[in-house]
Amino acid sequence: MKNICFEHIKIDDGFWKVKQDMVKNSTLYAVYDRFMDTHRFDALSCTWKEGEPDMPHIFWDSDVAKWIEGASYLLMEKRDERIEAIIDDAVDKIVSNSDENGYFNSHFLVTEKDKRFKIRSNHELYCAGHLMEAAVAYNKATGKDKFLKAMCRFADYIDKVFRKEKSAEFITPGHPEIELALVRLYDATGEKRYLELSKYFIDEHGMGKDDACSSYDFANNLYNQDEMPLRERSTAEGHAVRALYLYCGMADIAARYNDKELLEACKRVFEDMVNKKMYISGGLGSTYLGETFTVPYHLPNRTAYAETCAAIAMALFCKRMQMIDVNSKYADAAERVIYNGFLSGVSMDGKSFFYENPLEIDTKFNDVNNSTNTKERFPITQRVEVFECSCCPPNIVRFIPSIADLMYSFDDETVYVHQYINSQTEYDNIHISQTTAYPADGKIKITCSAPQKQIALRIPSWCSDFKINADYTVKNGYAYIAINGSREIELELNMPVVCVKANKRVHENAGRIAVMRGPVLYCAEGVDNGEDLAGIAVDISSEFKQEENDFILPSLSVCAYREKDSDMLYSKAGDDYEKFTLKLIPYYAFANRGETEMVVWFLRK
Amino acid sequence: MKNICFEHIKIDDGFWKVKQDMVKNSTLYAVYDRFMDTHRFDALSCTWKEGEPDMPHIFWDSDVAKWIEGASYLLMEKRDERIEAIIDDAVDKIVSNSDENGYFNSHFLVTEKDKRFKIRSNHELYCAGHLMEAAVAYNKATGKDKFLKAMCRFADYIDKVFRKEKSAEFITPGHPEIELALVRLYDATGEKRYLELSKYFIDEHGMGKDDACSSYDFANNLYNQDEMPLRERSTAEGHAVRALYLYCGMADIAARYNDKELLEACKRVFEDMVNKKMYISGGLGSTYLGETFTVPYHLPNRTAYAETCAAIAMALFCKRMQMIDVNSKYADAAERVIYNGFLSGVSMDGKSFFYENPLEIDTKFNDVNNSTNTKERFPITQRVEVFECSCCPPNIVRFIPSIADLMYSFDDETVYVHQYINSQTEYDNIHISQTTAYPADGKIKITCSAPQKQIALRIPSWCSDFKINADYTVKNGYAYIAINGSREIELELNMPVVCVKANKRVHENAGRIAVMRGPVLYCAEGVDNGEDLAGIAVDISSEFKQEENDFILPSLSVCAYREKDSDMLYSKAGDDYEKFTLKLIPYYAFANRGETEMVVWFLRK
């Protein structure tokens, strides 16, 4: 099965148009300005000297690369001289400072020069992978091939050192990314050696040969994705972003080599994530300690790590899985991610970012350790414009412009519609138009022309009641409809507000419900609802009303209950509740109005 | 007002008789054996040499001293040659190794010899204080005065160094205890200089003069009780045990000097604790970070520190306060402590101990950090026989035999009955007998003879319905009854099972209730109720049944509700509860049947 790439899909109205415009007009420049302030672009010049401030960091190249990749996606829609000048300048620096082997890394070329390919945990191949992805994107956007050629040389050098000569001091990268990047380089160039190198890394990871290699003191085999060969995996472990980039590579190799064993491992880790380790927001990674997955059903809300990059990587993994295993669960998971735990990573104005995306903010108890200099750690409560570790902001710059990548795949018989986004698509002889306000409502008008194919529409798992103005049969979560060349279809997904509970094994959410409408999770903030949100109780049979706001999708209001105030610390429990009108906003929009309490999970009345 | 000391009170049946027998027959020897194993008694010989194992620790003297104090209390009831031989041997070592000034410390005499009185945080005066308390107790129990004389010499030396010459490198102790010990030494000897030295420490603490002195890196002014002069305090801050020992000293000085300003400070910190910082178990200290108080209403159940020593120190503070401020709230707080968060510190067999007393054990999520060597910290889930920092076990050895100290105080007009314990009391011309199964039930028959006095019976704050077969007037929580020389009174405290809620500001307990009967808190354990206790819901109007068990007080059973099992991580909330019979045991008895889940706070159905 093939994907229809986002460059063939024009999102011309609705929810994601707003977000794509935000990236184009705001986020792209906001991130660029911060990267200039912090000398991330300057670092490409490789002029830094020992003793100077702002030593190029081991992962700075990846930050710049992701920005170039995102900028390139915008250039695909419309060329822009200023942006191209920035990228051309960066490419010139990368190419002119690459060594005779094609090697480039703005950290290892100017400091730790003797450490090249010696420290597994130091993001060297991760940076290389992102540079390759950027080069592919820039080539596709502009036709310029200087960057792409340089990255092919770099890839050839990596192939030589790692696969042919095995002269590096580690075998597989500490931070995966190059695996999927090499597949992309293969797709762009047709050079099979890149695919083979990716497969080599996938084959070798977890074989126990890298044990002696350097890593962080706090890290163990699970953190490093070393616990067992990838084909034997059945659970998602370790650093969440590293795990998910690796799973993307696994899925790519499974698809390209028709590797059933690898595919089954991909399916198992997917199931483990969505059934036992995923926040209702789609967030992944339950702890800041190592930024890792933890144990099944351990989903603390206040200290959720749920990194924005993990959300993006999960969407990228789902995109790959929906092409090789026809089941709506992959697009369901991607949808949960993109409307919630991914999108919460960026402010409404597109200029500030969360690295961690908690599901609860309890401002009163964020500075509890008044008697010690050592403090309990909680995520920040406000998005910030710049992070020292700034992987998430440029990842947003590349992900939102390419969001339509998640929408369609096709094989000889069927065009699959995975996501509902108002858009026009033309790819070969496939023409699809979606007219919809989704997810503001569940009505989607789809016009599809695709000779010799049927169309398959995903029925989202959140939807228990839908209508299609055509005959259909449902299989694996998709409604298959004959289109006989061309057809206009009306799909109506009934989208009431639903109170959702978590599995009883999630002790954190015992007795609590979350409010969703379609794929969109809601939350309550202190700025709307006062203090002590933890005690708010909602009757699950309540009627919710929609209200306009500044957050694209409407707010909800509902009659709810909260405990009356008291001076007693402990007292006899009675019927001490008062009614009030609870206001809910989309979760992705939390923390846009100053520091305030926030909860996702409410008590049940 | 005066206290009636426990040595005049014979507990001859009932709840505390069981616990006193436990200490006499089990805990005393269990702690002694561990102290022998760990060379705590041997250390008194001061023969340790650099390079040998088991270097005497800075607080080992206090461990031994508390054991001697507790053993002495048992000797008051019945002399015992073997115990006296142990103590005499220890005393001989202490006396023979005291230096020419009377100084004794088994750590600073053999290692860090040049550090005497130089490191404020190193428990030197804390150890001295406990040795003084032990000496007073042993003298009272046996009439032998060798230990007491030695400790008077030591106190005189401390007076010289700290108060007269001011030659120590700190002014007030990092770990309070000597303040209350000096008052006790004054009470035992009549030597006013000990009282004056105590007052000196109380006057000087928090005056900002000790800022430059050494302390732990993690500690700040609040930890060290240095934030402001003691008379200005209005909140309880810092290391909970240190704070509470200091408050005991403050109350002692307030009483002895009729110092109203100091008394008001004591009242304010008491109110801050019981209204904003006390667990329903009576536990104090919300975090292991510095073992400190945190901010108001921050009462996490699973990570509660609630040290056993803090519970004991709170009871000691309440005992002092009930003598200087007639209000039942002090005895109410002491009662909450002794039946719950104190008593949970020792196993039913008296041989193993909790240092921390959490209000929730969630075994499934105690080892969540499988991907990192760095782990989130949770309290231990099983009592242990020996701690490296073993302050709590010998504190239990001295506290339970002297529990009756909390029962009575009197002034010229009134005998106050603060606690209800089956016992016989004879002190001067006051004779009181209590016949009761309390707290198994609320019926107490009190026979009191006390010429020219009335009797005042505490009406516990948990009791909303009581009967007395006599005329009475209630004031400040006490029912005052004329006894005309001598009288038999029947008090009946109605003691139903009550569902208690926490203040809405305690977010941790939002929507939850705890079950109490009289002063006794109940909990549910996994061993009785299966897994996932966090999701158990109790209807607050339910009828509870009592059942026999091995834990002195009965278990309770009640019809309760829990979520049905499901494979879905998230699903639409419905009426998915099943009924079952919930079994509750007294909180103090948790963790006596192997590692298992435990909760105190239940959802409300």
User: Which pTM was predicted?
Assistant: 0.96
Residue of A nearest to B290 (CA): A372
Q: Identify the burial level of A79 via C-beta atoms within 10 angstroms of its C-beta, where 0-12 means exposed, 13-18 middle and 19 or more buried.
A: exposed
Report pLDDT for B548.
92
Q: In what order do the strands lie in the sheet with A414-417?
A: A2-3, A408-410, A414-417, A454-458, A478-482, A473-475
User: How do A466-468 and A486-493 pair as beta strands?
Assistant: antiparallel
Residue B568 in tokens: 């879905």
> Counting one residue from A and one from B, how many pairs have CB atoms under 8 Å apart?
213
Residue of B nearest to A540 (CA): B573
C-alpha Rg value of chain B to the nearest Å: 24
A457 phi/psi in degrees, rounded to 5: -100, 130
For residue B400, the SS3 value is coil
Residue of A nearest to B497 (CA): A572
Residues of A labelled as active-site residues: 291, 391
Residue of A nearest to B365 (CA): A298
Report pLDDT for B576.
87
DSSP B475: E
DSSP B195: H
Return averaged pLDDT per consecutive 10 residues of chain B, 605 residues in all.
97 97 98 95 95 93 98 97 98 98 97 94 96 98 98 98 96 97 98 98 94 76 95 98 98 98 98 98 97 98 98 98 98 98 98 97 95 94 88 97 98 97 97 98 97 96 97 98 95 98 97 98 98 97 94 97 95 94 98 98 95
Whether the Cβ atoms of residue B454 and residue B413 lie closer than 8 Å to each other: yes
Report pLDDT for B212.
54
Where do we find the tokens 């138009």? A433
Q: What is the largest CA-CA distance in chain B?
A: 78
Instruction: Supply angle C-alpha A296, A302, A304, rounded to 5.
Output: 45
Whether the Cβ atoms of residue B231 and residue B269 lie closer than 8 Å to each other: no
Task: Please judge whether B501 and A223 are an interchain contact, meaning their C-beta atoms are less than 8 angstroms apart.
Answer: no
Report pLDDT for A125.
98
Low-confidence ranges of chain A (pLDDT < 70): 211-214
Residues with Cβ within 8 Å of residue B350, at least 6 apart in sequence: B22, B23, B25, B26, B27, B30
Helices A178-189, A192-204: inter-axial angle, 10-degree rounding: 160
Whether the Cβ atoms of residue A577 and residue A535 lie closer than 8 Å to each other: no
Task: Please judge whether A573 and B501 are an interchain contact, meaning their C-beta atoms are less than 8 angstroms apart.
Answer: yes
- Please name which of B379, B489, B473, B395 lies closest in space to residue B433, comparing C-alpha atoms: B489
As a whole number of angstroms, the distance between CA A147 and CA B176 comes to 69
Task: Please judge whether A237 and B370 are an interchain contact, meaning their C-beta atoms are less than 8 angstroms apart.
Answer: yes
- Please name which of A426, A346, A342, A397 lies closest in space to residue A6, comparing C-alpha atoms: A426
Q: Does A85 touch chain B (CB under 8 A)?
A: no
Report pLDDT for B214.
61
Which of B 393-422 lie inside 8 A of A, CB atoms?
Answer: none
Whether the Cβ atoms of residue A34 and residue A397 lie closer than 8 Å to each other: no
- How far apart are the CA of A76 and the nearest CA of chain B, in angstroms? 39
Interface test with B, best of A340, A371, A538, A600 (most B CBs within 10 A): A371
Instruction: Supply angle C-alpha A456, A460, A465, rounded to 5.
Output: 100
Where do we find the tokens 């904003």? B276
Report pLDDT for A214.
61
Report pLDDT for B366.
94
As a whole number of angstroms, the distance between CA A319 and CA A333 comes to 10
Q: Does B566 touch chain A (CB under 8 A)?
A: yes
pLDDT digits (tens, 9 = 90+) for A381-416: 999 998 788 899 999 999 999 999 999 999 999 999
Count CB neighbours of A500 within 10 A: 20
Residue B564 in tokens: 């049905």
Residues with Cβ within 8 Å of residue B327, at least 6 apart in sequence: B476, B477
Q: Which of B391, B392, B448, B463 is catalytic?
A: B391
Report pLDDT for A217.
87
Instruction: Supply angle C-alpha A247, A252, A254, rounded to 5.
Output: 90
pLDDT digits (tens, 9 = 90+) for B417-476: 999 999 999 999 999 999 999 999 999 999 999 999 999 999 999 999 999 999 999 999
- Please name which of A126, A97, A415 lies closest in space to residue A248, comparing C-alpha atoms: A126
Buried-state track B206-234, b at ≥16 Cβ within 10 A, e below 16: beeebeebebeeebbbbbbbbbbbbbebe
Q: Does A534 touch chain B (CB under 8 A)?
A: yes
As a whole number of angstroms, the distance between CA B567 and CA B576 comes to 13
- Please name which of B534, B599, B582, B560 lies closest in space to residue A506, comparing C-alpha atoms: B534
Instruction: Supply angle C-alpha B476, B477, B482, rounded to 5.
Output: 90
Residue B272 in tokens: 């801050």
As a whole number of angstroms, the distance between CA A123 and CA B36 comes to 54
Q: Which chain B residues touch A567 with a CB distance below 8 Å? A: 275, 503
Q: Which amino acid, one-letter code, is at A489?
A: I
Residues with Cβ within 8 Å of residue B214, at least 6 apart in sequence: B118, B119, B120, B121, B170
Q: Which chain B residues touch A369 with a CB distance below 8 Å? A: 287, 289-290, 292, 294
CA A118 to chain centre: 30
**E strands, A223-313, where?**
none
As a whole number of angstroms, the distance between CA A472 and CA A482 comes to 8
Report pLDDT for A136.
98
As a whole number of angstroms, the distance between CA A212 and CA A223 comes to 14
Whether the Cβ atoms of residue A226 and residue A208 lie closer than 8 Å to each other: yes
Q: Does B558 touch chain A (CB under 8 A)?
A: no
3-state SS string over A427-461?
Answer: ECCEEEEEEECCCCCCEEEEEEECCCCEEEEECCC
Q: Which chain A residues touch B362 with a CB distance below 8 Å? A: 507
**E strands, A46-200, where?**
none
Interface predicted TM-score (ipTM) of this complex, two decimals:
0.97
As a whole number of angstroms, the distance between CA B327 and CA B314 comes to 16
Q: Which chain A residues touch B310 with a CB distance below 8 Å? A: none
